[in-house]
Structure 1
Amino acid sequence: MDRQLERELRQIFDGIFIYSRESYSLGGHRVEVPPAPAEDPAAPAAKSRQPAPFVTSLQMMLYEHCYCRSFDPPLRGETLSPNGKSGDLLPKLSAANKTAERWDYGWRVAQFTANGMVYATKGGQSRIFSVGHLLSLDHPGSTPQPGGLVCALLAREDIISQPGFYCVQPQLSPSQDDHYSFIRFYWHITPEIAPTLVTEVTERCNRYGVPYSFKCLRYPAAYTRADAAVLYVGRRYLFLVLQLVEEIYQVVKDGLESRVPLFSKALGPGLGAAEDPASAGESFGLARCRAMAEAVWNAYGKRMQSEKARLAELAAAFTNNGWDLDKPHLSMGTEDPFPEHFCDRHYGNAASGFAK
């Protein structure tokens, strides 16, 4: 295991104390665990797959205070959430976005989602639309139906689906396979450099026809996270995207803070990377924080609260998920796709002036 990661994990595990199954503290802040939901006797199998309320509670606390931020006890306990009290970057982010909005023929409705959105495909592309952004070609003037051909409005941005974030819509949408193999690039940007990053990502990725997904925080006060901006690309495009990312990094690096998200691979100060977690319904950070919470819970079940016992349980949790603590940014036993020379150019050499 990387020594810096081990130091961070030991500090975090040392900062957790369990009083009971219903109460624990993280960094001196005491948390009461909400009661488990009522049991459904008709679905025992589904119930058995649900994590213990303790695990879910600790998972979210670890994500909020340890994954995307440096663990800095004592914690005050307030929720660190995006808000608009310090201003709104939306006008600048929107102006910086180089994606062109347009109507596009040839899309086919695959299905309607539970919240009334429409999942549609075109060739290898897949995308979620609101009904108002689709025109039925089979029955003009009527609501599109599953299997029907439509003309789709390809918007350039999305500020609805993820509150507090500005989401870029690309010129070319990722395929379903791309979504399952997304590589994440985490940018620890400041509010001042965010519009520049939006411009660099949209200009370069759109120019080379790279399907991608990108989001960054909308409100300046929320820029306390090591994952303030995230670029997602399918693994099949990684060779090209690594070159683009390095070019972008040279432009924005002076506007980045140094920390990267816990468990991600540091490609340079403020730039981290990780594979898709291969964990249904969870982001990379939530999946890793769940493993940490399970480690603490399992050690407690064995009447142990030492950091050593928790580290041992974390190693077991990683193994059970098909992960490796020596390469925690990877999933399912894959080879490391990030070349060492990329890191070497930005860490610990005279040319860069950085120290890892």
Structure 2
Amino acid sequence: MTQSNLINEILDAITITSPTTYLYDGIEYSNNADDSGSYFDLTDMIYHIFHCRNLLVHNSEEYTSNEELLETFSQHNTGIGTWDIGWTITGTYDGQLLVEKDGLVIWATPEEFMNLNDTQEIGCEGLLFIQKEYRLLNSGFYMALSDATFSYQSPHVKIYWNIQIDAAALLLYEITYRLNEKEIPFRFKILNNKNSYPRSDAAVLYVDIENIPHIQKSLCEIYNEVKEFLNPSTSLFAKRLAPGIGLAEDVIDDEGFGYRTSRIIAESMIECYRKQISIKREIRMEIDKVFKKRGLSLTCPYLNQDSINNYEQLSGFT
């Protein structure tokens, strides 16, 4: 999608009416919780509509996991877990071990940590058993972990799947089976509540950028198995690989690619209102300036600063 079409789709849908209010679909929302009117942060609105492609109703059930679905996911996860070398004990508490590797710090049970000296004191180095799954991940996702060691320090890409709930377990099976068979490190998360579907990011595959050439064939095979169960829409900000599949480079911080992009656009739109800039072309130019200041591209918002990869090698889906 061109820069013009990307921003115009947003500007056609949302109108800033004051520094703290805006219109969407004929309804005025407040961008400030202290103001009158329906409160829905502009960044959240852009994120849900244009990245997730679904304005979810905020309620207490949105991020409540479904136990039956979790069990189904676990059964379809072909992983077996693995012992991962290079972990160091940095603390202990109430029978648990605090272990660290490459800046990642997690809690583990004594049974999950092993070293040659059979000791578990602070400073000891050893192996940590990495299970095949996290059933209760934050933000309402089940996560499958690869049998191969996954490096959190390497740059990653995120591949989004707008999978329908009826085929969610099938997608999980295909990804864990095919990528584990090739010993590809990955993380794969998928919504754990049936009521949260559909979304363009219903499932997200994380892989090392350097492994992209090694997974192209597998991705095409997976796509052919699930394509009839993919909703066609993708994130407005991601690179569209095929109907229902998008790609973006992962963001290092905790904000995330989709939310970061939504925030930059939201803040820029409000700033344009303050500057009394109302012509779409001029607003687009202002937003483009903000992206460039951050080393990003409004034409290719899915790329991080200084990225040179256009991922054309992944365009062969059939």
Q: Name the TM-score class by shorter chain.
A: 0.7 to 0.9
Contact 2:163-2:198 within 8 A present in 1 as well: no
When residues 19 and 88 of structure 1 are mapped into structure 2, their CA distance, relative to the original with a 3 A threshold, is farther
When residues 106 and 273 of structure 1 are mapped into structure 2, their CA distance, relative to the original with a 3 A threshold, is closer
Q: CA deviation at 1:324?
A: 1.8
- State the secondary structure of the residue aligned to 2:41: helix
1:97 partner letter = N
Q: Bigger CA drift: 232-241 or 155-164?
A: 155-164
Contact 1:298-1:313 within 8 A present in 2 as well: no
What per-residue deviation string (whole Å, max 9, x for no partner) do you get for residues 39-91 of structure 1?
xxxxxxxxxxxxxxxxx932122112221116xxxx7x832773559884212
> Gaps spanning 5+ residues in structure 1: where?
36-55, 347-351
- Using the alignment, how far apart are the partners of 1:317 and 1:175 within structure 2? 31
1:93 paired residue number:
73
- Using the alignment, how far apart are the partners of 2:105 and 2:145 within structure 1? 11
Contact 2:163-2:229 within 8 A present in 1 as well: yes
2:288 partner letter = A
- State the secondary structure of the residue aligned to 1:292: helix
1:293 partner letter = A
Q: CA deviation at 1:140?
A: 5.6
1:315 paired residue number:
288
When residues 234 and 85 of structure 1 are mapped into structure 2, their CA distance, relative to the original with a 3 A threshold, is closer
Q: Bigger CA drift: 219-228 or 126-135?
A: 126-135
Output the TM-score relative to the length of structure 1: 0.76
Q: CA deviation at 1:316?
A: 1.1
1:295 partner letter = S
2:272 paired residue number:
299
- State the secondary structure of the residue aligned to 2:137: coil
Q: CA deviation at 1:131?
A: 2.6
1:333 paired residue number:
306
> Gaps spanning 5+ residues in structure 2: where?
35-39
1:79 paired residue number:
58
Q: Does 1:130 align with 2:107?
A: yes
- State the secondary structure of the residue aligned to 1:89: helix
Tell me how many residue pairs correspond in the alignment.
Answer: 308
Q: CA deviation at 1:276?
A: 2.4
Q: CA deviation at 1:311?
A: 1.5
What per-residue deviation string (whole Å, max 9, x for no partner) do you get for residues 99-151 of structure 1?
1035x3744227569xx984533xxx886542326436488675x52x32244
- Using the alignment, how far apart are the partners of 1:111 and 1:141 within structure 2? 13
User: Percent of aligned positions with the same letter in both sequences?
Assistant: 24
Q: 2:228 aligns with which of 233, 250, 254?
A: 254
1:34 paired residue number:
33
1:61 paired residue number:
45
- Using the alignment, how far apart are the partners of 1:191 and 1:168 within structure 2? 17
1:14 paired residue number:
12
2:144 paired residue number:
168
- State the secondary structure of the residue aligned to 1:334: coil
1:268 partner letter = A
When residues 88 and 32 of structure 1 are mapped into structure 2, their CA distance, relative to the original with a 3 A threshold, is farther
Q: Bigger CA drift: 317-326 or 104-113?
A: 104-113
2:163 paired residue number:
189
- State the secondary structure of the residue aligned to 1:296: helix
- Using the alignment, how far apart are the partners of 2:290 and 2:97 within structure 1? 36
